[in-house]
Amino acid sequence: MTPESVLGFGRQGLEVLLAAAAPVLLAALVVGLVVSVLQALTQINEATLSFLPKLVAIAATLMIAGPWMLALLVDYLQRVLVGIPSAILGSPVP
C-alpha cells in the first residue's frame, strides 16, 4: 500500500464527509442567521431562542436529505471495502 493510495482514501473520505454533512450544517447556519437578525431587529437578547428553530430545521433537513446522505455513505463504504484487496496487493483482484 503506497502513501498515495492512503492519501487517496483519506481525501475521498473527507470529501464524502463534507458532502454528507453540508445540508445539515447549511440548514443550521441559515436558521441561526435568520434568528440572529430577528433578535437584532427586535432587541431580544435571549441566547437560547435559536435552539428550537435550529433543531426543527435540522430534523426537517435530515428527513429530506437523509436518504441521499445514507446512500452516499453506503456507496463510499462499498467502494472502500471492494478496494481493500487491490489496495493491499497493489493490483486489481480478478
Q: Does residue 93 belong to any structural domain of this protein?
A: no
Q: Does residue 91 belong to any structural domain of this protein?
A: no
Interacting residues of 61 by C-beta distance below 8 A, sequence separation 6+: 23, 24, 27
The residue range of the domain holding 16 is: 3-86
pLDDT for residue 93: 47
Q: Considering the entire predicted model, what is its pTM?
A: 0.78
**pLDDT tens track, the chain, 94 positions:** 777 878 888 899 999 999 999 999 999 999 999 999 999 999 888 888 889 999 999 999 999 999 999 999 999 999 989 988 887 777 554 4
* Helix axis angle, 51-89 to 3-42, nearest 10°: 170
Q: Does residue 80 belong to any structural domain of this protein?
A: yes
In the chain, the number of structural domains is 1
